[in-house]
Structure 1
Amino acid sequence: MAPMADRGRARSRLRQAAVRETAARQGGVVSRAQLRSMGLGPNDVRSEVAAGRWHAEGRVAVRVGAASRLGRLWRALFEAGRSARFDGVTALQLAGLINWEARTVDLVVPHNRSYRAVEGARVFVERDLEPAAPTRTADAPRSEPAYALVRAAMNSDSDRQAATLIAMSVQQKVVDPARLLQVWRAWRLPRRREALEPIIVDVCDGAHSLGELDFARLCRERGLPEPKRQVIRKGRDGRVFLDVRWECGLVVEIDGVQHFQGLAPVDDALRQNAVVLRSDAVLRIPVLGLRLYPDEFLDQVAMGLVARGESVA
């Protein structure tokens, strides 16, 4: 009898070790299906819960460790169903996005699969799922970042929020800009196409983003005098090209996303300081700002022109 008892205790220790290992990867939460695959049946789960060592987490999971944000993500995933995977902002955060506060857990399921609604989660039902298998982080099934970002942007509360999320994901190298453009172009029926198209192009493809020609057109439509473009000035390292300038000495620099990467802000600061020291006034306008708030930025341009003696319509 003793050898059988010893074997039973050894199996129990192995099962408990497997549970702890799985729980450690999943924020302390393990699904009942996972427990069954480890040889733990309903009676075992009830005993552990009754003893206070485990805690029921919804209908399909138990918590075997301390409560954590990662555990809440996994609980939502288990509750939604087997076909669900992490998506949207949640997938981006698992891929490395930082400094973004998420109010919900984002999940996605194929349009032809059933799922359960989950409190505190939003579930995207999509036809446009990437053809390859989902990527994994610490065994977490999640969408490829480019797909996750497009869905998050399409379901953002505002164009401003979408633009911020797109810019941050690219700047933090969570999403490759070329891949984002590729996924966006291939999307069959994207929501908010008119709003998101210029934002994604501005962030991912600076060569074709809004620039001096578009700014000059906006000035004409607003009734402002048209500026000169690509004005040359002398700088610390030779010639400096200013995006646009009026004879009154007002300069506008239109900053694409490349102006916020690496040492670009340092170079921009040196260039702007050199211009200001020659008595010109410089207004900096991020290209995304000009997309989202053209009236507000053009109001500032008009104020700058009037302050320097220009007449505006």
Structure 2
Amino acid sequence: MGNREGDVHVGYREGAVDDDRYAVSKGGHTVPEGGPGRRSRPRRSVEGARRRERRALLAKGPAVVHGGVATWRILQDRGLSRAEIRTEIETGRWTRLGRHTIGVTVRQATGRGAWWRAVWEAGPRAVLDGVSALQAAGLEHWEERTVHVSVPARNRVHDVPGVTVHRPRTTDPVGVGGVPRSRPEGAAVRAAQWAVSDRQAATILAMAVQQGVVAPEALLGAWAGVRSTNRRTLLDAVIRDICAGAEALGELDFAALCRRRGLPEPTRQVLRTGPRGRVYLDVYWAEFGLHVEIDGAQHYRGLAPVDDALRQNEVALGGDVTLRIPVLGLRVRPDAFLDQVERAMTPRGA
């Protein structure tokens, strides 16, 4: 039944965008809904806003879990079409961060988002490894410019900006939720192997054990399974020092370094008596009034620094000079510390 003259039909104009509502008169003229003279919000803007809200809502959950990023597949599994995802990217609301990764709430992946991006972009079965895996396991106070991942040896390696891809003989992924990563003990060993310097290698291992990210027994076990590696001599000594927790190891090594340097051999574990009872000095030269304290990894745990400070103060009150040498210092900067020992043996004012 046709419209009577003067009636107004509200509908969609032929060929117009599907969400743009028009009021069409019998004469073919368009009139805003609500009648002439009234301005109303276009239907297109309302529907567009609703669709944007829907897309943002569907993407929010994955983005929160993954540090602000998601993949095309994850977003499609949430109910978004590829066309909808492209629309968000083209309008600048979302950002492409690689072949697979999309920044939903971030324009640059950092922290947890950078880890997820790295494993997604590196290829199938990629896992965080080295120091990046340690950071994901809880390592703090370490800065790394790249994210380290490992992939199976036969995998094709993709060049990913900001990501260093390794292909070790074996990987040992952790069977837990969260970003895929290697087990801490294996990751610590590989982090030391991939470090840019001996000093960095020793520091990574010491921090991982001291912060409880890696158990000493687990680190020893992982190292025992390594067949060939660079830094074998250094890492043998460093891992032993960190995990054994025996000061005597450092003292014996220090005595050997003194002999090679041509310095007099010291007396080890000299007994002194102070107000709090007996005090043992690690290394002592009575003829020079020089005491050297070898600090093993255990010196930095719990109340050990308090006891060390009290012992050092007792020595100082007795008129002797005390030098402190971290056992790892004997591994990475022995000459610098021995220079200080030699200077301390020189008579004052000479």
Residue of structure 2 equivalent to 1:121 = 163
Whether the aligned pair in 1 keeps the contact of 2:247 and 2:295 (CA below 8 Å) is: no
Correspondence for 2:255 among 207, 216, 220:
216
Residue of structure 1 equivalent to 2:297 = 257
Residue of structure 2 equivalent to 1:235 = 274
Q: Deviations over 1:2-28 (max 9, x none)?
A: xxxxxxxxxx98886453111111111
What is the 5 A alignment of 1:84-233?
84-130=126-172, 133-136=173-176, 139-207=178-246, 210-233=249-272
Residues 55, 296 of structure 1: CA spacing in aligned structure 2 closer, same or farther, 3 A cutoff? Answer: closer
Percent of matched pairs sharing the same residue = 51
Q: Deviations over 1:70-112 (max 9, x none)?
A: 3233222221112211111211111111111111011111112
User: Hey, what's the Cα distance between the residues in 2 that align with 1:43 and 1:135?
Assistant: 35
Correspondence for 1:71 among 91, 95, 113:
113
Once the two structures are overlaid, the 10-residue window that deviates more, 256-265 or 50-59, is 50-59
Residue of structure 2 equivalent to 1:294 = 334
Whether the aligned pair in 1 keeps the contact of 2:241 and 2:250 (CA below 8 Å) is: no
Once the two structures are overlaid, the 10-residue window that deviates more, 154-163 or 36-45, is 36-45
Residues 85, 307 of structure 1: CA spacing in aligned structure 2 closer, same or farther, 3 A cutoff? Answer: same
What amino acid does structure 1 have at the position aligned with 2:328? L
User: Hey, what's the Cα distance between the residues in 2 that align with 1:112 and 1:208?
Assistant: 44
Whether the aligned pair in 2 keeps the contact of 1:110 and 1:126 (CA below 8 Å) is: yes
Once the two structures are overlaid, the 10-residue window that deviates more, 262-271 or 286-295, is 286-295
What amino acid does structure 1 have at the position aligned with 2:264? P
User: Hey, what's the Cα distance between the residues in 2 that align with 1:40 and 1:65?
Assistant: 16
Q: Deviations over 1:222-258 (max 9, x none)?
A: 1111111111100232111111211221111111111
Runs of 4+ in 1 over 4 A off after TM superposition: 12-18
Larger Rg: 2
Whether the aligned pair in 2 keeps the contact of 1:250 and 1:305 (CA below 8 Å) is: yes
What is the 5 A alignment of 1:279-290?
279-290=319-330
User: Hey, what's the Cα distance between the residues in 1 that align with 2:93 and 2:348?
Assistant: 74
Unpaired segments ≥5 residues, structure 1: 1-11
Residue of structure 1 equivalent to 2:68 = 28
Residues 14, 49 of structure 1: CA spacing in aligned structure 2 closer, same or farther, 3 A cutoff? Answer: closer
Unpaired segments ≥5 residues, structure 2: 1-51
Q: Which has the higher contact order (CA 8 A, sep 6+)?
A: 1
Q: Deviations over 1:106-145 (max 9, x none)?
A: 1111112223121111111011322xx42445x2111111
Whether the aligned pair in 2 keeps the contact of 1:235 and 1:274 (CA below 8 Å) is: yes
Residue of structure 1 equivalent to 2:100 = 60
Cα displacement (A) at 1:297: 1.2
Residues 49, 247 of structure 1: CA spacing in aligned structure 2 closer, same or farther, 3 A cutoff? Answer: closer
Residue of structure 2 equivalent to 1:4 = none
TM-score by length of 2: 0.79
Residue of structure 2 equivalent to 1:8 = none
Q: Deviations over 1:200-243 (max 9, x none)?
A: 11111123873323222222221111111111100232111111
Residues 185, 261 of structure 1: CA spacing in aligned structure 2 closer, same or farther, 3 A cutoff? Answer: same
Q: Which secondary structure does the structure 2 equivalent of 1:266 belong to?
A: helix
TM-score by length of 1: 0.87
Cα displacement (A) at 1:45: 1.6
Q: Deviations over 1:176-222 (max 9, x none)?
A: 11111111111232332122111111111123873323222222221
Q: Which secondary structure does the structure 2 equivalent of 1:142 belong to?
A: coil
Residues 219, 199 of structure 1: CA spacing in aligned structure 2 closer, same or farther, 3 A cutoff? Answer: same
Once the two structures are overlaid, the 10-residue window that deviates more, 249-258 or 206-215, is 206-215
Cα displacement (A) at 1:304: 1.1
User: Hey, what's the Cα distance between the residues in 1 that align with 2:182 and 2:247?
Assistant: 28
